[in-house]
Amino acid sequence: MKKSTELRKHLRRGNVYRRNDLEKWSNSVDRHLTELLSDGTLQKLSQGLYYYPKESAFGIVPPDEKVLVRSFLKGSKFLLTSPNDYNRLGVGTTQLYNKRVVYNKKRHGELELGGRKFFFHIKPRFPKEVTQEFLLVDLVNNLDALAEDTKLVLSKVQSKIRTLDMEKLRQNVKAYGSIKAKKLFLPMLNTQCNQSYA
């Protein structure tokens, strides 16, 4: 019987493990990892990061992106998003991007995890979840880096503001907006505010 059997008993399908996570179940983790990789029990996602695949009728299911990033960062303080999310706002963005963005406080740079590219950006602040208000601010923050018609998008952003929660948008602009975003949004928000009191 393989020595890795004891380690295998602790694994749960669909989970992503760091090498350090596995040390508590093995007295020879590198040898056991080699065995589990060679027999297909585990898949290597990147240096020191492993996946115990979940299977469906269609084959192996790739790891959930949030589980993957959480394991890689050793914590849950991050926000996972994509430029494709801007398309849900209805402000004229139409491009599709093969890109996942991770706002976090630990890592910066482009990394491949499990065959997928993630762009890690260190940010002092980011929300716990993606909202329309945050997405609109984030869109303006990143507009220069997108393959979009900037003038068209900005004109539609002005219309979109009227459909959102003004106070939530103001909070998002203040907390997460770049200098450029603040210059754009604050006059619009003040105009909306003045109109609402007129």
Residue 1 pLDDT: 44
Q: Give yes or no: residues 26 and 118 share one domain.
A: no
**Residues 96 and 53 grouped into a single domain:** no
43 and 90 inside one domain = no
Are 116 and 130 members of one domain? Answer: yes
| CA pair distance 23, 29, nearest whole angstrom | 6
Q: Residue 175 has which token pair?
A: 């907390």
Q: pLDDT tens-digit profile of 86-104?
A: 999 999 998 998 889 999 9
Q: Are residues 135 and 44 in the same domain?
A: no
Evaluate if residue 195 carries a pLDDT over 60.
Answer: no
Pick 198 or 116 by higher pLDDT: 116
- Residues 122/137, Cβ–Cβ less than 8 Å: no
Tell me: do 22 and 118 sit in the same domain: no
Instruction: Read off the pLDDT of residues 70-80 as tens digits, 9 standing for 90 and up.
Output: 999 988 899 99
Query: What CA–CA distance (Å, rounded) separates 185 from 112?
Result: 35
Based on the structure, what is the number of domains in the chain? 2
DSSP 114: T
Range of the domain at 103: 66-197
Angle CA 30–56–43, to nearest 5: 15
Q: Indicate if 84 and 156 belong to the same structural domain.
A: yes
- Identify whether residues 76 and 157 lie together within a single domain: yes
183 and 99 inside one domain: yes
DSSP label at residue 116? E
- Tell me, yes or no, whether 82 and 99 share the same domain: yes
**Is the overall model pTM greater than 0.85, yes or no?**
no
Tens-place pLDDT, residues 101-139? 999 999 999 999 888 899 999 999 999 999 999 999 999
Q: 10 and 98 share a domain? A: no
| Contact present, 176 and 141 (Cβ < 8 Å) | yes
Residue 192 token pair: 């909306």
